[in-house]
Structure 1
């Protein structure tokens, strides 16, 4: 037994001793993992290679043309099928071959299709900067990519590209591959292949005539054919040519001296005098090309045989191009041939681009597109985006909200912001401020909203600020931040579409030759509440019917819109003029201006472009009005109340306005401005023999009034004696033997036009014969008592609520009263201070005192007596109104002579809006529109 036990122990020790060390186990496991990874990567690469397309000789020789379809799926353009001249390798001069090889693939004639050194550098760059940050494609790889593969930056595509490059080099010679590359590459301006490019840019049909600078230009173009277009960007092309020449020196293709001589060449002097004609719909297709490049990685609409489905409305596009042409029947009154224009037309419901007007008389040679490429200050057209939209969204302001347009807005260390006409209107609603494009209320509103709320709001509408942070001048479009018609139309469309924004788009999907589809429509996003969108739209309807946009108004069509103009230093008139507007169907933004420093003689052209286009597009098409959401309520408020108050029963119709409020933020207090004040009570006047004066006393329950005391002597006219907050008054220096009639009226401290009915009393000052006077007075009192008894028996009902107010704008006194009994007529007596009374009979419950007879500083006493059907007369009701003294004339401050365009005036004799200079910021002159 012991022997067996010992044997088992020995075996355990032997087994334990035979185990491998830990490090060996780790190495074994790591080796297995690495082997598995190698096998996995190898299997993956094998799969990529196995699924790679076959090399097709036909595709190598002829690039596919791309087809563009309109919104209805109809073919409208085919790109790449024309403007192509095929050449053979023998046609290529050495200078061109050297320029291309040095620029694109310096080891082209040595590598087998892929360049290991370039791949190594690209791997390092992709590890440090992310996959796809740098490519290592040789000319051979570029040929197979353009012929057989998509342009996506994927590992699978790159593996297939390298594999096919190796295969291509086995089947074709280097000369044939270079020939394929130079025949298929796109050089811009509609030219495909180097031979056509030489014809297009230099008028050269024999490539052997190319000079070194020309060869360098052709070698540099394929990288960015639109950007480096020498017709449009000679300076940018000069930089690119210099880069090519430096590369040729680096790779010993030319000497330093040859390079320096070539760099001295003036690019325009090498070019053809005339640029090639563009295709139809060129401005729209330019946007299509941009979108495909941006959204479909690496795709080229000129060479890739794509089917591109777009949002193009051919009818709209053709009409826009007609309006931007020099056709004899064109209704747009362009001022001269140099004036340029750009326009974008969007579908308001989804943001689809329906038409683009790129420039006057169409784009030339893929040239400057003023709808997409300009970067001009927007002026006042920006106000809904940076000012009033954010105010409603974040502060729940109503369209009635009051802002004080009192004086220029001072900015420390800078010139103040002024209204364009240097006129200020006092307290105004934001509806009026926007409609008339007042600058001071706009900057005050932005200040109250805050940049932290306004900037994100504007950016959510696609508005990109030139600087990181907005400043106060962004309220009126007066900073370095520029924009273009497409960006403006995209931002405004969100207001037309209940606050839903998406980037304007021209392409809906792209289909590759292998059937692969890429959906390119942007996703919509709610960027503001429906209440903000509707309230801004409603204010912009006012701007187009009553404000500065009246020349763009279309009767019978619910249209909203805004104007904008800007100036520059040294110009006597506007540099840029804008109009952006919309219906529920279409949104249109139009711009006009000049390339050089030249001012606009006519700032109404964008209005005409908008109006004519909108009318044409809206023919035979139902256009719904903007639908008020449940989040918005209409409320009648009293004009001039701050904050907004509800009108009272006494508020006249002319003093009531209906405005829009965000639900839950409506006014609850009722105005007391027009309420009839109570008359004084207990009015009495007594003669004090000791002081030889008349003591007047009365009672009143409120301290919110002051009292206007007047008197007449022996039936003469009423003369105002004093205004006092006390409830008594002493009248001294009285005339013996005279009868005084004393009148007291309560006047509101808050509103001097709000007065009570007049109360009167009489007192007689004793004469020299006191006894005779007292006897006479007793007799008169007795007679008066008898008369009063008769009046009590037969007197008519007096009027109530008699009030009179002076209207300074109309220079009239409005008199009104209340009477609820049957009547025959009212007898109205008007007595001016120091003048004779005039009496007339009326049957209405009010009248207007007007005419040149109203004199500044005079007080008019108005007495109304009711005469009923039986001829009975009532006691008179009395009130008064004073015409203010005319203010003394003050010398006017001399203003700069530079004009400013007024967007609310017709074309002729129109003032122009001042634009900022380095010393004079633009926003001071943005017109109230």
Structure 2
């Protein structure tokens, strides 16, 4: 007993010394680290890196940009079952401890001392919040001590709910997803509130190894981790045995989902991205900006559908070019086993496929192809004469032969081969093909080689309401609506005719439509222009010449007024004069313009003669909802009389100062958006560049293009307020239709990226106009018609249709025509007896006769 007393004393003093030493060490560490610890209160105001989001005018998400996909949510929005899963996986004592799990830390230290390796960090969720928000990922004792001290401070400053909210919004969960809401969108394409128990457990298991063990990269590891989380939930009494048994048997349905999008407008999104980077640099991707565009969601949907439908039809009419590729099937084989190899030598590979492995390989290929809108990729699994079974991700479907009867082989742009007699003539097992679903069933399709663009805008303020820059942004990011500079052909003629009216011509001016030869050095020698139809019509009134699209009349008009005068007039419509031909080819639309240029110019016709600038960026909001920028475009309207002054010319935008960014923001200055305030900007009235009389006469002639000319197919829309013009360039390399209703301008272009013929049957009226009609049918379905108002300076006169002179008294074929006051003919035509006037248009349309009564 006497011997035990000294030993006991020694032991007690030893532990006291160790405790005192540990206390002194901890105190020293605390005193050393405490001054550098951040204030935990700052977590209440932390700014999470959130991506740039782009919206339509009506608030639908177009896309988001940023290295980190994140959508912060509140604690109340976290599903309770997810909280159970997360705590079961990461920190089941979270609501009980003070930020430190001392048992876990002791276990980690014991593992380190006994094995020399770190098996677990003993980190609580609070400690992970401290690390994620304040510390680096370096594995040092100093950082660990700092993490512990910070966790204690955080627990004192914030509630458990606030800490958990910070954690679920910050944690990295693989595939660029930061936070649980972003992870739900990335892996399942749904909100976290929409996930089932197995999916919630899958996400709750990701923090341990988000890059290596996510369900896309390593589905087997992810399922194993998910089942561990479910087992922990069951052991902790959070779920029943039935729930546990049901959910551990569920396969993973996770696959990569791109940025959440409620409306497809990728070309618009890219325009916004470029402008935001120009304004804010790389902060554009991380500061949580929200950009609202001028895009109208329903009109954008209509534009997507119309352009893709038109391009697919053109492509189908020119034959099938064959499958995009042929993917191999993985055979059932174990090469290390000689018996199996001998058996495989006698087997039929087409019937002995390792389908799970094959489909997994096909899935990977199909997912990488991207979004192509109306068509989707698939792989042929088997073929019969009546059709074929095809595989698209997660689905096996029947493609009937009726859906591929069109697939005669493509031979050239002007010819196709014999139609197929069965599906065996078209498909082979393993073919990577494209499908087009419709209400009629499934059809074979292919990615068109021809491209196109469609852009529509509000003519009153220039807001772009829909824009499609090509068949698919996944295939090619080149924005043909704003970047493709092509010849507009006859769609440019309304500008020539308007210039003519401004230079002494009238709608009844008689121009000879006859063969002509020009010898001009600027035209590279001898030039013999012809009409599209190859016919000549002799003396023709200006109105007839426009709706018949007679080239020779346009050339003679331009020759009489002179190209320089025409360029001076036309540049005010928004065209760059440096890119406009200064010779007679200007009359045939041989200059280089973009579809947006044409739509901008046509807006002047549609709005009554005012010059507006296109824009697509309506406003920019900060992550807190503060308005950083709001567009203040020019408005096509006459200012109130009291506001007019002698400085009105200051509103004119010169071509020298106009830049591409105007199409984005509608701005004419280089003002930083941070300088804008929410104060109401003064209304900016657009300058008038056409007289009301000129505008009325030009638009009335353009309406005749649809009533009786090359745009007659648009009569199918059953509206009386449509006007426009077709355009076809030499050798059918470009097909255009540009036109407008009372409140919407739209331009369509079809062609190849590398200019080549679309084929002998292609033209503006047959290739581009149907796309315009399909778009306008949906886009203006709910828009009321507005009559063309007759200005005070216009008079109506009965004239002789052949001479353009005043009609003789009692003349049976006389027609009514409009003139600017003081320009109507004063001479009478010779008295005659003639049959009623017949329209001789041969370019397009149904051939029906519409009386030329203009009111």
TM-score by length of 1: 0.43
Q: Comparing both structures, which one devotes a greater share of its residues to helix?
A: 2
TM-score by length of 2: 0.46
Q: Comparing both structures, which one devotes a greater share of its residues to strand?
A: 1
